[in-house]
Chains A and B, each alone.
Chain A
Amino acid sequence: MAASPLKRWARSEAVNGYMMISPTLIYAILLLAAPLVTLVAYSFFTDGYLVVIPDLTTANYAEAWSDPIFRSILLRSVIVSGLVTLVTVVLAFPIAYFISFHVPAAKKSRWLFLITIPFWTSYLIRVFQWKVILNYNGVINSILTGLGLTDHPLQMLNSIGAISITLAHAYAPFAILPIFVSLEKIDRSLLEAGLDLGENRLLTFWRVTLPLAMPGVIGAVMIVFIPTIGDYVTPELIGGGKLPMVANVIYQQLLKIDNKPLGSAMAISAMLVVAAVALVFLFLNRRFLRGSK
Chain B
Amino acid sequence: MKFSSLKGYAFLYLVFLYAPIVLLPVFAFNSGTIIAFPLKGFTLDWFRDLFANQTLGLALKNSLIIAVSTSILSTTLGVFAARASTRFKFPGKTGVMGLIMLPLVLPEIIIASSLLVVLLAVGMPLSLFTVILGHTLMATPYAIAVLNAAFSSLDRSLEEAAYDLGETKWSTFRLIILPLVTPGIISSALMSFTISLDEFIVAFSLAGKETTLPIYIFSQLRFPKQIPMIMALGTCLVVASIVLLATAEYFRRRGLAKTGAKDTGGFL
Contacts and interface: CB of A to CB of B under 8 A. Distances in A.
Establish whether A and B are touching in the complex (CB under 8 Å). yes
Interface of A: 13-18, 20-25, 27-29, 31-36, 38-39, 42, 91, 94-95, 97-99, 102, 108-109, 112-118, 120-126, 128-130, 132-133, 135, 137-139, 142-143, 146, 169, 172-173, 177, 201, 222, 226-227, 229-230, 232-233, 237, 246-247, 250-251, 254-255, 260, 263-264, 267, 270-271, 274, 278
10 contacts: A14-B90, A24-B84, A24-B140, A25-B99, A99-B10, A113-B245, A124-B198, A132-B35, A230-B108, A254-B116
B78 A39 contact: no
Max count, chain A CB within 10 A of own CB: residue among B27, B109, B238: B109
Interface of B: 2-3, 6-7, 9-10, 13-14, 16-21, 23-24, 27, 34-38, 76-78, 80-81, 83-85, 87-91, 93, 96, 99-100, 102-103, 105-118, 121, 133-134, 136-137, 140, 144, 194, 198, 200-201, 204-205, 213-214, 217-218, 221, 230, 233-234, 237-238, 241-242, 244-245, 249, 263, 265-268
Nearest to B85: A21
B114 A122 contact: no
Contact of B107 (A29, A32, A38, A230): A230
A237 to B, nearest CB: 6
Contact of B110 (A27, A95, A139, A270): A270
Contacts of B76: 23
B75 to A, nearest CB: 11
A17 B90 contact: yes
Contact of B91 (A14, A31, A99, A233): A14
Nearest to B198: A123
B80 A271 contact: no
B218 A133 contact: no
Max count, chain B CB within 10 A of own CB: residue among A13, A27, A39, A125: A125
A32 to B, nearest CB: 6
Nearest to B35: A132
A177 B145 CA distance: 14
A17 B113 contact: no
A113 B109 contact: no
A20 B88 contact: yes
A129 B137 contact: no
Given A35-B114, A123-B200, A133-B19, 10 more contacts: A23-B76, A32-B99, A34-B118, A122-B198, A126-B21, A129-B20, A130-B20, A135-B35, A146-B38, A267-B110
Contacts of B36: 135, 137-138, 142
A227 B213 CA distance: 21
Contacts of B237: 121-122, 125
A17 B93 contact: yes
Contacts of A108: 265
Contacts of B198: 122-124
A49 to B, nearest CB: 15
A19 B177 CA distance: 18
B21 A264 contact: no
B186 to A, nearest CB: 15
A112 B136 CA distance: 27
A83 to B, nearest CB: 17
B114 to A, nearest CB: 4
B114 A36 contact: yes
B84 A20 contact: yes
